[in-house]
Chains A and B, each alone.
Chain A
Amino acid sequence: MQEYYSGLEFWTMTVVSVVTVIALIGGILFQMKKWGLGSAGYGKPGQGGSIIAFLKLLWSQIFDKKHKQGVITTLVFDILLQRRILRRSITRWVMHITIFWGWIMLFLFSMGIFVVELLNKVGVYHADVHPLVENFPTVMLLDEVFSYLLLIGVLIAIARRLFITEVRESTMFYDVVLTGGLFIIVITGFISEGIRYHGTEHATALTDFWSLGISYPQAPHAALFHVVISLLFCVALIPFTKYIHIIATPLSILAHGGGE
């Protein structure tokens, strides 16, 4: 390992990222082609897998003037705040809103770190001189907060699937890939962070707990493992697993004007 400060080996990450982006974009295009097999209207002929036709109908439905509430209202209340879930179940809302915001914010932070990595690579930003932890304490704190939010959500999800009989009995592999994948990602994230701080001046009892006693020299490997499976599990597999709901569900809610 070389050039380590955020846990990444540059070229390995570049290859994994490119593979991920290809899988993600290719997968989304493939899904849109599948959706594009449908018709432009009830009783009309199918459109042979046209992505344009799919997008056209979706667009017209999202901005349909017959909706009782505007697109922005739907976006804020029904997607970002997930009002529809809150109306039905507080537990499920806490579970989903923590996973939703935890996932989104960690994704954004990861993108930010990747940008810093690139800046470091081209010599604009010197990460070895200005370590992230010291220079962006607020970001690092928020990173911590959203990590725990995500963990809480994932644990509730797992608990539901394990301890609520009807949920457990109706659980299938399709559901396990989503919840299990998230669990592995969030746990390896905490462990890699714990190892990274282990034995350093930034170590706390909590980070030592997550480090599993593994010392700092192993940090790059742990971080690499975490980031690679995060990209492959949480991003590249989106179009091919239940993760697709990250894209399909908000679009469905928008197309129906929030269902009001």
Chain B
Amino acid sequence: MAKREPSVTTERFTTSQLLEIDACTRCGECLNWCPVLEEIQEETFIPEGREGMTDKQKEDFSPKNKITVMREMFNKGYGLRAKIFGPRQIPENDILKFRDELYHCTTCGICSTVCEASLNTVELWESMRANMVKHNRGPFGKQTGFVKLLESHNVFAADQEDRLCWVPEDVEIKDKADIAYFTGCTAAYRMQRVGVATTRVLNALNIPFTMLGPEEWCCVSVLIRTGQLGLAKEFVNHNVNAMVDKGVKTVIYACAGCHRTSIIDWPKFYEGGELPFEVLAISEYMDRLLDDGTLSESDFDWKHPLKQRVTFHDSCHTGRHVGVFDEPRRIYNMVPGMDFVEMARSREMQRCCGAGGGIKAGVSDLALKMAQKRVKDAELVNADIITSTCPFCRRNIMDGINSMDTKIIFKDQQEILAEAMGLDLTVPQNPYTDKQL
């Protein structure tokens, strides 16, 4: 008789991650912070097929319970009893139930921030998702479409030749430069105003930069977040090599998702290991130039003071995941006239907007509820504008705003800078003009 295989294998987990699963003390702190669990507990969102859950059943969606289930599943396959008597089989329905719980997560990482055992929960969820995909159990809902979309090398199945179709004629982009601006799919095809603002600001500050244009492929954040790793290596190597070909030493980002993926995930897939260039959020780069004297505040040449109350939504990706908190605030605080105010939950304790981790595509009604909650956070501090450094947060928060009766508007950091500097944000007519979000 053939030896039984464990129902859930350890594939896609590192040795340290398997240790981490046993390190969870089940203290329950993550239950106080998980934004998805909050929506489920308040019943503002009910997962499909889970109507009428008891309070205890709702906790199945908590980080603590996900780790407990992972530990139990691995022990059934690899524990002492399994070694002696063979792996205990887990009903496929139980695994699929867990799969659904696993994918109801924005991978915002607040559970990791508050974890007593310092578990890197985001990486645990992503490894488990990759394991699910490997065994044809994942991903979830519309997330299955990402791979097909990326055949075009961007998440909108758009023409790669149009990558720079939004760039105004008078914006100067070098063929080769030390600095490269990685636009990201969203700014290139759906939020071109952010792209225009970023390039205008860089030009105005006399920072020479290059862009990859059609050679810029998706950063593969959507694939990695949902466990679909098949294309990751090809895309990462393409992007890194394209940067090397242009002689780039520093890549700057106005998209938090691309930024996080490049700095944390790309080295895992790049065949050369460590990236041959530096990865920085654009605010980090500006902060550095201000520190070393390359830039001074007067270089910004402010034209229009912003006489509004502005609150900053730290994106999970650039904030909690990468640890960039002070630099964007320094940039905002230079804008004349701005009344900058913090929401009750900010910096590393920020509340996720709900867009990440494949939730926007996979569980869009949950994403909307979370966005509404973040808008309410901004209303509580009487903000006129919510700002961020992430086009994906922007998209979801704007969906939240549009579904509510609120006067708050959203503006990207680069838009705020460009407007205050009196720069022209007109986006040239292009095939995607009527698709702008």
Chain A residues in the interface with B (C-beta under 8 A): 30-31, 34-44, 46-47, 53-54, 57-58, 61, 78, 82, 84-85, 88-89, 92, 166-167, 169-170, 172, 174-175, 240, 242, 244-245, 248-249, 251-253, 255-256, 258-259
A259 to B111, CA, bound (A): 12
Contacts of A258 in B (CB 8 A): 118
Closest B-chain residue to A31, C-beta based? B22
| Distance between Cα atoms of A125 and B250 in the complex (Å) | 69
Q: Name 19 extra pairs, CB < 8 A, besides A92-B27, A248-B19.
A: A30-B80, A34-B18, A35-B15, A39-B12, A40-B14, A57-B16, A84-B115, A84-B116, A84-B118, A88-B114, A166-B55, A175-B26, A240-B80, A242-B26, A245-B117, A248-B117, A249-B117, A252-B16, A259-B118
Q: Is B74 in contact with chain A by the CB < 8 A criterion?
A: yes
**Minimal Cβ-Cβ distance residue in A for B233:** A43
B16 touches A245 (CB 8 A): no
Q: Please, could you name 28 A-B residue pairs with CB atoms under 8 Å apart, sorted by A? A: A31-B22, A35-B19, A35-B22, A36-B15, A38-B15, A39-B15, A41-B14, A46-B11, A54-B15, A54-B19, A82-B116, A85-B27, A88-B29, A166-B31, A167-B28, A169-B55, A170-B26, A170-B56, A174-B68, A175-B26, A248-B117, A249-B23, A249-B117, A251-B19, A253-B117, A253-B118, A255-B19, A256-B120
Cβ of B269 within 8 Å of any chain A Cβ, yes or no, is yes
Chain B interface size band reads 35 or more
Partner pick for A58 among B16, B79, B123, CB 8 A cutoff? B16
User: Which single residue of chain B is at the shortest CB-CB distance from A93?
Assistant: B116
Q: A34-B74, A35-B15 are in contact. Are A259 and B112 (CB under 8 A)?
A: yes
Contacting residues, chain B, for A249 (C-beta < 8 A) = 23, 25, 116-117
Residue of A nearest to B32 (CB): A88
Question: What does DSSP make chain B's interface, helix, strand, loop or mixed?
Answer: helix
In Å, the complex CA distance between A35 and B78 comes to 10
Q: Is A37's CB under 8 angstroms from B14's CB? A: no
Q: A169-B56, A245-B117 are contacts. A252–B27 as well, Cβ < 8 Å?
A: no
Which residues of A are found within 8 Å of B18, using beta-carbon distances? 34-35, 37-38
When the two chains form their complex, are residues B15 and A245 in contact, meaning their CB atoms are under 8 A apart? no
Chain B residue with minimal CB distance to A169? B56
Is A39's CB under 8 angstroms from B116's CB?
A: no
Q: Write the chain B residue with the least CB distance to A30.
A: B80
Contact with A along B1-17 (1 / 0, CB 8 A): 00000000011111111
Chain A residue with minimal CB distance to B265?
A: A42
The reply to whether A53 and B15 contact each other, CB–CB distance below 8 Å, is: yes
CB pair A252–B15 under 8 Å, yes or no, is no
Query: Quick one: closest A residue to B10, CB to CB?
Result: A37
A92 to B29, CA, bound (A): 10
Interface string of B205-232 (1 = CB under 8 A from A): 0000000000000000000000001001
